[in-house]
Every structure is written in structure tokens, then in C-alpha cells.
Structure 1
Amino acid sequence: MTRFKAAIVQMRSTVNPARNIADMEEMVRAAAGAGAQYVQTPEMTGALVRDKEVFRANLREEAEDPVVAAAARIAQDARIHLHIGSTAILLDSGKVANRSFLFAPDGTLVTKYDKIHMFDVDLDNGESWRESATYEPGSRCVVADLPWTRFGLAICYDVRFSALFRDQALSGASVLTVPAAFTRQTGEAHWHVLLRARAIENGAFVIAAAQGGTHEDGRETYGHSLIVSPWGKIIAELDGDEPGFALAEIDPEESTAARRKVPNLKNTRAFDPTLPAAL
């Protein structure tokens, strides 16, 4: 395992995929120029659109999606591993996948991941979200071996389901990824706590690029893209919701050291499921 430089790209995606691709490309290339070897963009890099007709009009199948095509080209041109946090992909069923893509420096696709957990919530500020009405949830936990170490893939709301990350860590992942578009309300309350918890309990780095600010479609996202060390220390952060990028050096040996100090993965034990108390 060797050290590498990782970058988180914070965006404020609009309803226009072409504009978002241009913004993404500018920041990804800037991060690569600053030395990043792995660059991650947020959830819904392609567009954030509430209007259903506009959303549907922009949808494309994977082979025809402009974000996917642009990402492959940029990864090859910049000679980096480029992780598109997610974009909406039209499925044969008529539903949509919230899908992330990880490209190699030669532009080939390393792997992809469909968001498993759907954000179906009613917040006390009046916001109501039903991702399951539009998106087909994924069912597969995904890890990828990159030149430096093994990565685990997740998206946004997945961060609240610790079993997914535990499975990735037990399979050898020392870097966990959580590209996101956290709402402002939930982000202010839980973003930092959840990401640091996933890092600490798994002895792994967590890399989480985020959407930030008030978007063209009216929604508000929290920003504060983060990279967290296996000991729970924030080692890179975009402190606010403005677009930009930040970098950190990742040493996978820090994951090994953290797991040696607190060997909770090794100490995991099976237990009987909860049963009614004996009379």
C-alpha cells in the first residue's frame, strides 16, 4: 500500500447537465493540476432537478449519458482515477439508477455502484423526499482495488447504514467513499458526526465530496466536503457551501495502524438475534 493524493470537488449543480459538466471538468482538472491522483465529485454531479418533466428530458441510458462520457475523457486526459459521485441513469424498466462511476487513468471504467438506501423522509422543516418513487435501489455492495488500496463505494444516505461500511471494511477496504447531496438541515445536525463515526468504527479513511448552497431548483445542500482519517480526524474540508476543491495525502498504512490499536473488526462476534425477554 502506498500514499496518494485525494481531492474532493464540491459543486452546486444546476438543472443543466452541460453546465454542470463544464463546472465539474474545470474543478477536476484544477485538482489534478494540484497533484491529485484520485478525484471525487458529489452525488448528482449531472444535475439537481425537482421538475419531473425537466428531469425526465435530461435522462439518458448509461451508454449515451454525457456525464459518463465526459468523465472517461477527463480521467484519461488528466491521468487520474476519477470518481463521479453519482448521476441519474435511465434503466430499461423506466426507473432510474442513482449511479456512481469510477474511471481509471486510461479512461476505462473500473466499477460502478447503485445507491442502495433510498432517502424517503419527512423533515420537520417541511421538506419531504421520496427517492423510491423515482429510483431503483441497488442491491450490491461494491469495493474496488485501486493502485494504492481497496476502496468501498457508497452514496449519501447510505452513510446512516453502518453495516454496509462494516462489510466493506471486513473485505479489506481502507478507504470508504460517501459522495453526497445532504440537505442543509440534516447536514448541520449529522454530517460531520456520521462521517467521523464511519471512519472511527472501521479504522478507515472516509472521502466525501458534497453538493453545497442554494441550487437552481430551490433546494439547499450543506456542503462541507470532507476527508477524515481512520482515527476520526478531519484532514481536509471545504468549510462552507461554496464550490471548490480540497486535497489531502492518504497513507493507507494509517488504516492498518488504527485497526491495530483498536481491533474491533477482528473482535467482531456473531450474536443471537433479539428475542422476547424470558418470563
Structure 2
Amino acid sequence: MRVAVCQLNSREERAQNLTVARDLLERAAAGGAELAILPEYVDFLGKGSDTPEPEPVDGEFGTFFATAARELGIWVHAGSFHETGPDQNRTYNTTLLFAPDGTLTATYRKIHLYDVEIAGRVSYQESRTVAPGEETVVAAVAGVPVGLSICYDLRFPELYRQLAIAGAKVLVVPAAFMLHTGRDHWEVLLRARAIENQCYVLAAGQIGDHEPGRTCFGRSMIIDPWGTVLAQAPDAVGVAIADLDLERLETIRAELPSLANRRL
């Protein structure tokens, strides 16, 4: 399976963000990708007061990417967006996965919320405006089991172990990882999730500055089950593409059966 991770610098102009996302999906399709991954909050990064109105999964956002999947004939993982939440004060941070015919085949709501308070450095309480999801999701993409997650989930290995036990062979991580943590933790965590679960990891990140005064790390990458980085995006908007060798995955799992040998 050939896959692509798309790296954006989404900002306040939603229409422009979606235009860039569509262009990157077209580049992925032209490069032969069967599955393309977009980053977290692909349609908007900016001040909370300017956040687009939350939508249902079949709203404008979902329709846009369903159409892209159908017209390009590829699987589209639409990063994430602000889905209508359980109450007036909170949305869900939600991933949508579309088949090449435009059918919505999976929905995942981010489980772990980024609540951090470091005096004088970082103050961010995602749970004030976002409700946590409750269900893990493994979806079949062209017959391959794919486990879904979003950004901060990456720091919780128990989630990925559940996905691997449920049969996932590929783990997807759309993200808007901050520069100050990303430069030290992003690749380390991604490679760890790949190695310990003997899965491919596809991580699509936001890059660059956005309001209110934040910077995303980027370095979107594709990692094999041995922890080897197969492809990595440079520090710019763009696409990274690699081929997943599922026979190699089975060989790794057979020759180093750590996943099979677990006792907990």
C-alpha cells in the first residue's frame, strides 16, 4: 500500500486551508498514494473566538472531503475538525475517514485532551472547549486494519496497545504538535509506538506559526514496524510518500514476537 502524509500550515482563513488541503490530496493521488492523511484541525488554527461553528459529520467539512475522496479515487483521512459536541460549550475533536467512493467509513473522537499549565510558559486547557471521545476505532482501509488517534493521544501508549490488540497494522496520528515539545518528543514517541506495537505509523502534522502566537513543529513522517523512518516531510507545506510492505510487518512480528509474547 502506498500512503501519503500531508503537512499544512493551517491558519485563520478556512477556505484557504481547505484549498491547500485539496491541492495536497491531489499531489498525493498523483504520486500513487492509495491513502492520504491530513493533520489535526486541517480547516482552522487560530484564536478560539474565531473558531468555525461546529458541524455534524455530514456538514460542510465532511462533504468537502467526501467529494475529494470520490473525485480523486483515494482513501482520505481528513485530519480532524470541530464536530458538534454533547453540549453548547464543547465540541468534539473528530477524525473522518472516507473511502474512494466518498463513503464515510469511520469516525474517531479524540480521547485524550491536552490540559497543561506551566507558569510563564504554557497555558492550554483543551477540556474547557472539547469533550473527550470514548471509543477506540480500528477501520479497514483497502483490507488493512488501521487504528485511529489524534495528536495528544500519542503520549498514551495504552491506547495504541489496545488498537494493536484489536488487529491494527497501521496507526495514524494527525497532529498539531507544538514546536517546544515536538523538537524533543515527536519522533521519539512516534518511533516508540511503531516499535512496541509492531505497526506502521503515519503521522501528519501542522507546521509553522498560527494565532494566538503558537508554532507547530511539522516533520510529518511515515515509520515502519522496526522504527525506521521511511519518509519525512521537510520544514515546509508538502507531502511525504512511502510504500508499506505488509509482508515485512509480518516478518518482524514473527522474528521478534514481542506483541504475541505480551502477558498483560
State the TM-score, normalizing by the size of structure 2: 0.96
Q: Which residue pairs with 2:38 in the alignment? A: 41
- Secondary structure in structure 2 of the residue aligned to 1:48: coil
Given that 1:15 and 1:217 are in contact with CA atoms closer than 8 Å, whether structure 2 keeps it comes out as no
> Residues 161-210 of structure 1: CA distance to partner in whole angstroms, max 9, x if unpaired?
00111111111111001110000011011000000000000110000000
Given that 1:14 and 1:47 are in contact with CA atoms closer than 8 Å, whether structure 2 keeps it comes out as yes
Q: By how many angstroms is 1:124 displaced?
A: 6.8
Structure 1 ranges of 4+ moved more than 4 A: none
Q: Which residue pairs with 1:250 in the alignment? A: 244
Q: By how many angstroms is 1:66 displaced?
A: 2.3
Given that 1:148 and 1:252 are in contact with CA atoms closer than 8 Å, whether structure 2 keeps it comes out as no
Which protein has the bigger strand share? 2
Given that 1:237 and 1:246 are in contact with CA atoms closer than 8 Å, whether structure 2 keeps it comes out as yes
Q: Which residue pairs with 1:101 in the alignment? A: 96
Q: Which residue pairs with 2:116 in the alignment? A: 121
Q: By how many angstroms is 1:63 displaced?
A: 4.9
Distance in 2 (CA, whole Å) between partners of 1:141 and 1:101 is 14
Q: Residues 165 and 63 of structure 1: is their aligned pair in 2 closer, same or farther, counting only changes over 3 Å?
A: closer
Among candidates 57, 61, 65, match of residue 55 of structure 2: 61
Percent identical among aligned pairs is: 39
- Secondary structure in structure 2 of the residue aligned to 1:23: helix
The 5 Å alignment of 1:21-32 reads: 21-32=18-29
Distance in 1 (CA, whole Å) between partners of 2:244 and 2:227 is 13
Among candidates 79, 82, 98, match of residue 76 of structure 2: 82
The 5 Å alignment of 1:215-226 reads: 215-226=210-221
Question: Which stretches in structure 2 are left out of the alignment for 5+ residues?
Answer: none
Amino acid at match of 1:97: Y
Q: By how many angstroms is 1:44 displaced?
A: 0.5
Q: Which residue pairs with 1:260 in the alignment? A: 254
Q: By how many angstroms is 1:90 displaced?
A: 2.0
Given that 2:86 and 2:131 are in contact with CA atoms closer than 8 Å, whether structure 1 keeps it comes out as no
Aligned residues: 263
Among candidates 219, 227, 232, match of residue 227 of structure 2: 232
Rg: which structure is higher?
Answer: 1
Q: By how many angstroms is 1:91 displaced?
A: 2.1
Given that 1:14 and 1:217 are in contact with CA atoms closer than 8 Å, whether structure 2 keeps it comes out as no
Given that 1:81 and 1:104 are in contact with CA atoms closer than 8 Å, whether structure 2 keeps it comes out as yes
Among candidates 54, 65, 76, match of residue 71 of structure 1: 65
Q: Which residue pairs with 1:146 in the alignment? A: 141
Distance in 1 (CA, whole Å) between partners of 2:171 and 2:67 is 25
Distance in 2 (CA, whole Å) between partners of 1:63 and 1:5 is 27
Q: Say whether residues 1:190 and 2:185 are aligned partners.
A: yes
